[in-house]
Amino acid sequence: FGECGFVDNHTVEVVDKDGKKTQYTAEKILIATGGKPVFPPGEGIEEHCISSDGFFSMEDLPKVAVVVGAGYIAVELAGVLNSLGSEVHLVVRKGKALREFDPMISDGLDAEMIKAGVLIHRHTNGVVKVELDASTKKKNVTLHSGDVIYGADIVLMAAGREPNTTEWVANTESLHLETTGVKVSPKKHVVVDEYQNTNVDNIYALGDVCGEVELTPMAIAAGRRLADRLFSGKEEDKVAKVSYEYVPTVVFSHPTIGTCGITEPKAIELYGKDAVKVYTSKFSNLHYGIFAVEPDQKPKTLMKVICAGLDEKVVGIHVLGMGSDEMMQGFGVAMKMGCTKADLDSSCAIHPTASEELVTMGVWGTSPQVSGAKVSPLGGATPGEPRLS
């Protein structure tokens, strides 16, 4: 196989590494070509920087690393390099990383990164140029703010995988979609409906190439639903589609972040301040109990449960700290099922764990005693029996 492009609505042509062309025809064609790292414009940026792809080709640990970006990849790789002993400079365009996350979480991560020794350059508006010092083979990074970072061994551009210039396209350059009439957005993402249909009857698209919830498990879930709808033959699968709401996700930062649902500002925007109730907690994980460190220096776990409406339906759970990645999967299931604060309170805590805090938060039992479950667990009710016939 090799580079692929459309010939017509039912035919693609693949050019292999030797230039040999082979055409394939199919009744249905799925576009799932993903995205790619972005290099913003600027003198020497593409020439002297690496992307997240290049990170995995590194053979030596850099003494000084500059990471440019404010998203998942930037904070993850900055944390990895810092933990391994590099001097890490994190360059963000505005005030902090992960600005779209709940403020409690993004502020908490910011504080932990500073405590860990990451040097954060704020309000830079990005990089102007990257120059190579011929005598030292080091790189000097000039920021739009006027600051210059000298002596970097690597400059890692993690400005995201979403389009940020009119020239960037989401791996659709060679697809020749113009031969099919498939619509793309102004940012060159393939336009689809909720069932992953393009505007061409037999052509479908999913994943990062569509620009919605750009996570690998999300693309896998969308692919499974699409396969069920097109090929299972079951009546119930004729309307199968993936849900893009309440998607649990994790940032493997240092410390880890787990989140599901909307942020507190978004909840207030959607439902009004009076309809939103927020529960929070801050503590040091018991893992650090035996560490000979002052309590205020121990890494903190931050938790927030956001509820909305008369029934206190849980619309957001956000965690920063050890174990947040593992605990969020289960709470994501609960949120998908429509859990309320009372449902969380009805669950017996597992002690000693960090996750027990999410089912004991606030003044226990004071939320409205309303369940979002099909079979309510409230008031000590027994769980429903499995349906056998």
For the chain, strand residue ranges (E) read 3-8, 11-15, 21-25, 29-31, 64-68, 87-91, 119-121, 127-132, 139-143, 148-152, 154-157, 203-205, 249-251, 257-261, 276-284, 300-308, 313-320
Which residue do the tokens 């061409």 mark? 200
Contacts of 59 (CB under 8 A, 6+ apart): none
Q: In sequence order, what are the beta bridge partners of 90? A: 67, 120
Q: Which of 89, 123, 254, 351 is catalytic?
A: 351
Contacts of 161 (CB under 8 A, 6+ apart): 35, 36, 37, 38, 73, 208, 214
DSSP 297: G
Which residue do the tokens 């970006």 mark? 69
Question: Which backbone phi and psi does 285 adopt, to 5 degrees?
Answer: -60, 140
Q: Is 351 a catalytic residue?
A: yes
Contacts of 47 (CB under 8 A, 6+ apart): 130, 132
- CA 331, CA 158: separation in Å to the nearest integer? 30
Indicate which residues carry an active-site annotation. 351
